[in-house]
Structure 1
Amino acid sequence: MATLSVAAVLAENARRRPDKEALVEGDLRLTFAEVWQRARAQAGALTGLGVRPGDRVALMAPNTADFPQAYYAIAATGGVVVPVHLLLSPAEVEHVLRDSGATLLLCHPAQAETAAAAAREAGIRVITLGDELGKLAADAEPLPSYVTRDADDPAVVFYTSGTTGVPKGAVLSHFNLVMNATVNAFDANDVRPDDVALGALPLFHAFGQTVSMNSTWRAGATLVLLPRFDAARAIELMVREKVNTFHGVPTMFVALAAAAAGADALPGLRVCVSGGASLPVAVLERFEAAFGARVYEGYGLSETSPAAAVNQPVFGARPGTIGHPLWGVDVEIARAEVEGTVELLPPGALGEVVVRGHNVFSGYLGRPEATAEALVDGWFRTGDLGTKDEEGFLRIVDRKKDVIIRGGYNVYPREVEEVLMRHPGIAQVAVIGLPDELHGEEVCAVVVPAPDAAPDAAEVTEWSRQYLGKYKYPRRVEFADALPLGPSMKVLKRELRVRYTAG
């Protein structure tokens, strides 16, 4: 039985380069030895609270030093990290806690209210990061090292909503995460120990967690955290800290390209990686012109740890594509309409993107049917449509399943529709994504009013904010007498997209 732990990413740095700067957040500067010491002390506190190997511990924190410390503390105890999206409502957080079977929730003081409400409903304990956990850690016996795990044991459970609208927990193993961090650091991108990366992507999200945090540390490089992304502040911070590596979603590249003109100085960026949604080529060109840096666009999903393909220096970068599969990973195009088996297609054909390799997750927590649907013949079916050319460059063409990606976050129309259908003035609704310069896509609700009701667009938006996370509620509301239906009575969303994009 092979043993492995994601905690080794930090522990080995503490052993090999203890005095190297690991983490910078505001005025706080910590070496690898210091971060690992803090993580071991917190792990001792968690063990004292009853956390045992295999237990799931929820973590709700922004990009402050608290996140990596708590993340590695949970990993060191042998526990499983359940990152919680910061923009969820208390009911949505409660679902994650109950569904994951979390026994404890660690939360940042800024999230205390939502966390307390959700944990009370789920019947579990909350510990606040900072003073409360700090005091417990100070009184605890630090763990001498991390508890080792079987390589295939779960390390992290990412909640992702598939099209059912009910978030499902994607279970990733220590092997999945350590391999993805390693291959990202040394094969996809040439990350060097003297690099300095900006951690602006949310660490609760697979992209920020693997590519910014774990890959940067796997290479022994420095991570500079930016708790709230603001383009002008990001540029100042990158210049001040000599950041040469930037990972972001398209919205961040849009904002940085715009802010570059007004900046006193620009950072010397060597590695820039985009993911989370497709990067318009015009944005890539604007950013490269402003910063004189090459952007490597990639692609991944929570279920693939997340990186599956990326433009890599070894193959050359091609704008408008997601490059080539990662080292040791296969990404192919399969016949989209065939359900129970994976039939691969020749180069140039349009079909469903399928992935296999060391990065593919174990399955959805407690959902064998959903797992069997997603993992077919050893391949993970992504639900995305794409092509692969003769030279092996992959391109994502569209979502197979209408998912809206707003600012790098997935919004599942059905989840929004379920909420809007509770509005007394709404008879029918279809939620679609419309192209948006800033966010990539904007959430639009096309509403058929209830008889004798005359809901107002601003009121619908305002009402929906109470029930939906900040990135999910419809910013745009349109009214129609009826929704276009196909032969099977399904709403033809593509027709709505055409109608409202045009007008």
Structure 2
Amino acid sequence: MYNLATNLERNATFRGNDTALIFHDQTISYSELNKRVNRVANQLVRLGIKPDDKVAISCPNTPDFVIGYYAIQKVGAVTVPLNVMLKGPEVAYHLDDSDAVALICYQGNSALPCGEYGYQGFSDTESCQHFILIETEGNESPASQEAHSFNQWLQTEENHFDAIYRKAEDTCVILYTSGTTGRAKGAELSQSNMLCNAQACQALTNQKGTDVSIAILPLFHTFGQSLIMNTSILAGSALVLIPRFVPKTVLQQMHQHKVTHLAGVPTMFIGLLAFAEKHGGDFIEDIAANLKVAISGGASMPVEILKQFEEKLNVPVIEGYGLSESSPVAAFNHLEYERKPGSIGQPLPGVTMKVVDDKGKTQPRGKEGELLIRGHNVMKGYYRKPEETAKTIVDGWLHTGDIVKMDEDGYVFVVDRLKEVIIRGGYNIYPRDIEETFMTHQDVHMVAVVGIPHKTYGEEVKAFIIMKDEAQTTPKEFVAWGRERLADFKYPRQVEVVDSLPMTATGKILKRLLK
């Protein structure tokens, strides 16, 4: 029997006075965190939330995300984390597709109007019955009259709630990801998937209760959720929460709280390295004295950046690989073995990988092919999408869509992406989603979206548009139109109007010729 929240309960019992969360000037112990989670869990039950119900949460890296996430787990429901940058129609799609019956939503402010977009999406989703607002101090939300108050829930005194036990195969979370064949799909991950991945990550990073990790990656994202939050709660270590990545702030917090474990995407390491090189001195030396390991994922780390970061912070940087569909961690370089720059390392214990050609034949070492994964980390499937699941998981093997090669020592190197996913600053962006949105514009005849190189983000989104006859929309106006309808990390910053697009004889756009 499983429940991810029992890791929290165990630490509240055995190390209740130890620090669980650090946020600005707040320090929350494991005992207090568990009480707050219990208060919210009791209120969710009062709303009628039952085991297997889907509850969405949209919140940046604050204690409220952790509290809401584990409260949903405690009642046996399924957590559906949403990107805080989603606009109203995008929120509505995710709520409807996941069958969410409730949305816990951070109110935010004019710079990050989560509450406004969340309420818009909630209002447009018939199946979603409850809107729970995490109020932001000094803000008035148009949803406040109809919303349940998360903040008031936290003021109650119902401090006891025993986690409802689940079966290993019961769904724990639904993490949304996309593909090139349609809109976002919910990867259904079991209690076993999530617990085993946290255990593997704890062993991988040698994380103990005396350690301090820092959450600079968003916790609604699969990487931050498993490798940082769930691993920290499992280990009983302290977790410093950073709601917005600012290199100066991150390094100050690392210095102040003696952070031992850092995880991020390459663009974050680039930003931290640039600040450290500029400001250096005793400040950076003190950080380096405490830092035990740095973990990079989400995209390939430039080898030169990896070497410079290791030298500047005197810390091993281990690169890894994962997908939402693999809980997410599937492979990593290991601390106790040789770390090969540019490699994603070796499979986790209990995970098997193979490289196959387009006919499914296993490739010899050194030869390129598609990466397939099998093990405890492979998802149950895409929620309510059996046909998509059948295409992705074949005979127990997860088809990643990534082209790799494996060297003689079993280290895996990513060569290219079979799928057309664009990785911008660690965020996965899927062209089809953007293309479908732009095809609703009255002046668009055809559109192709690709990723182009970018110094800071790795890749940037560019749209090539063929306009309808007599249309007058300018590229600048297309950019503004996209910004209104797509999450801020996703809309195309560049639009080029063209007369034609390169195509095959069968009419398929040759995107590689656009890059």
Q: TM-score, normalised by structure 2?
A: 0.92
Indicate the residue corresponding to 1:155 in structure 2: 172
Cα separation, 2, equivalents of 1:299 and 1:180: 13
Moved more, 54-63 or 6-15: 6-15
Count of paired positions: 490
**2:265 counterpart residue number:** 249
Matched, 1:461 2:466: no
Structure 1 residues 331 and 290 mapped into 2: Cα distance closer, same or farther (>3 Å)? same
Among 162, 174, 180, the residue aligned to 2:197 = 180
Give the counterpart of 2:233 among 217, 220, 224: 217
SS in structure 1 of the partner of residue 182 of structure 2: coil
1:408 maps to which of 396, 416, 426: 426
Residue number in structure 2 paired with 1:259: 275
- Tell me the amino acid that sits aligned with residue 151 of structure 2: G
Counterpart of 1:317, as a letter, is R
Which runs of structure 2 are paired with 1:84-483 in the superposition (5 Å)? 84-110=82-108, 111-123=114-126, 124-129=129-134, 132-139=149-156, 141-186=158-203, 188-263=204-279, 265-266=283-284, 267-268=287-288, 269-335=291-357, 337-338=358-359, 342-483=360-501
Counterpart of 2:311 in structure 1: which amino acid?
A
Return the offset for 1:148: 0.6
Conserved 8 A contact 1:173-1:361: yes
Which deviations, in whole Å up to 9, do the C-alpha atoms of 1:206-244 show, x marking residues without a partner? 100000101122112110000111111111111111112
C-alpha displacement at 1:245, in angstroms?
1.1
Matched with 1:500 is none
Q: In 2, distance between residues paired with 1:391 and 1:196?
A: 33
Q: Report the more deviating stretch, 350-359 or 326-335.
A: 326-335
2:7 partner SS: helix
The one-letter amino acid of 1:78's match is G
User: Shift in Å at residue 363 of structure 1?
Assistant: 0.6
- Cα root mean square deviation, aligned: 1.5
Unaligned runs of 5+ in 2: 109-113, 137-148
Does the 8 Å CA contact 2:403/2:417 hold for their aligned counterparts?
Answer: yes
Cα displacement string for residues 153-212 of structure 1 (whole angstroms, at most 9, x for unaligned residues): 0010001112223111111111100100001101x2211222111111100011000001
Corresponding position of 2:7: 9
Q: What does the per-residue CA deviation read over 1:353-407, in whole Å, with 9 as the maximum and x for residues that have no partner?
A: 1111111110111111111111111111111111111101011111101110111
Give 2:354's aligned amino acid: E
Structure 1 SS opposite 2:208 = coil
Q: Distance in 1 between matches of 2:100 and 2:444?
A: 36
8 Å contact 1:305–1:361 — kept in the other structure? yes
Q: CA deviation at 1:143?
A: 4.1
Amino acid corresponding to residue 206 of structure 2 in structure 1: D
* Partner Cα distance (2:222, 2:425) in 1: 15
Residue pair 2:183, 2:432 contacting (<8 A) in 1 also: no
Distance apart, 1:281 and its partner CA: 1.4
2 CA distance for matches of 1:137 and 1:449? Answer: 53
Please say if residues 223 and 328 of structure 2, whose CA atoms lie closer than 8 Å, have aligned partners that are also in contact. Answer: yes
What CA distance in whole angstroms lies between the structure 2 residues aligned with 1:93 and 1:471?
Answer: 15
What is the TM-score normalised by the length of structure 1? 0.94
2:119 alignment partner AA: A
1:83 aligns with 2:78: no
Q: Separation in 1 of the partners of 2:380 and 2:462?
A: 34
CA distance in 2 between counterparts of 1:464 and 1:237 reads: 36
Stretch of structure 1 that moved more, 419-428 or 487-496: 419-428
| CA positional deviation for 1:142 | 3.9
2:183 corresponds to which letter in structure 1? V
Is the 1:45–1:140 Cα contact (8 Å) retained in structure 2? no
Query: 2-side partners of 1:426 and 1:166: how far apart?
Result: 19
* Residues 11-32 of structure 1: per-residue CA shift (max 9 Å, x gap): 1111221111111001110111
Aligned residues of 1:43 and 1:143 also touching (Cα < 8 A): no
Amino acid at match of 1:5: N
Q: 1:454 to 1:283 in 2, by over 3 A?
A: farther
**Shift in Å at residue 136 of structure 1?**
2.9
Matched residue, 1:46: 44
Deviation at 1:102, TM superposition (A): 0.7
Q: Percent identity?
A: 41
Whole-angstrom CA distance in 2 between matches of 1:141 and 1:374: 44
CA distance in 2, matches of 1:11, 1:344: 45
TM-superposed deviation, 1:140 = 6.5
Kindly provide the amino acid, as one letter, of the partner of residue 492 in structure 1: L
2:101, 2:130 within 8 Å by CA — same for their partners in 1?
Answer: yes
Match of 2:22 in 1: 24
Shift of 1:478: 2.3
